[in-house]
Structure 1
Amino acid sequence: MSISETPPPAPPGPPAAPTNKRSGCLTALMAIFGIILLLPGACALLFGGISISDSGRISSDIAPLVLLGLVVGLGGVALIWAAIKGRRP
């Protein structure tokens, strides 16, 4: 009989904690609202581009609206990205 120097195997640990998954309905709503928020961003690009092509610069009365539309559009992109990416564990 030989004596082994290897220790006995460790008992199995506790099972992994379940991940909190987001429901499919919430993901779909986030994506839909993100697409809706893309529309003001597209309009801002359109009207800003028309303003630049007509006068060579954005007029001071439309510039805040173009900036606001771009910010809302970026929010839509972020919302769609968060819906696709999901929650980090």
Structure 2
Amino acid sequence: MSDSSANPPAVPPQAPQQRGGCLTALMAIAGIFMLLPGLCALLFGGMSVVEDGKIPSDIASLVFLGLVIGIGGVAMIWAAIKGRKAPAHPPNQP
């Protein structure tokens, strides 16, 4: 008969897969392109505030959308740079 209390064979933990340099570069380039709508939103939103004293409702949604896309670009660049660091390996345990 088999003993159900026996421990299964130990599986060594695997190191997390690292991203390649090409994917990191593509993420950074896409993030830079995503910064452009955010820059335009700041530019046109700032121009409309200076002229009228407030952002007109017809472009407010576009300004908000541009800012959200720009924030996404910053997040993508941050993830590309942070993700390239090598993970710290724990010391070997006897």
Tell me which interval the TM-score lies in, with the shorter structure as reference length. Answer: 0.7 to 0.9
Unpaired stretches in structure 1, ≥5 consecutive residues = 1-14
Deviation >4 Å, runs of 4+: none
What is the aligned residue count? 76
Residue 18 of structure 1 corresponds to 15
Q: Which has the larger radius of gyration?
A: 1
- When normalised by structure 1's length, the TM-score is 0.77
- CA–CA distance in 1 between the matches of 2:61 and 2:16? 43
Taking only aligned residues, the RMSD between alpha carbons, in angstroms, comes to 2.2
- CA–CA distance in 1 between the matches of 2:80 and 2:16? 17
Percent identity of the aligned residues?
68
| Displacement of 1:20 | 1.3
1:7-64, CA deviations, whole angstroms, 9 ceiling, x for partnerless residues?
xxxxxxxx87434110000000000000000000000000000000000000010100
Unpaired stretches in structure 2, ≥5 consecutive residues = 1-11, 88-94
Q: Which amino acid in structure 2 is aligned with residue 54 of structure 1?
A: E
Residue 56 of structure 1 corresponds to 53
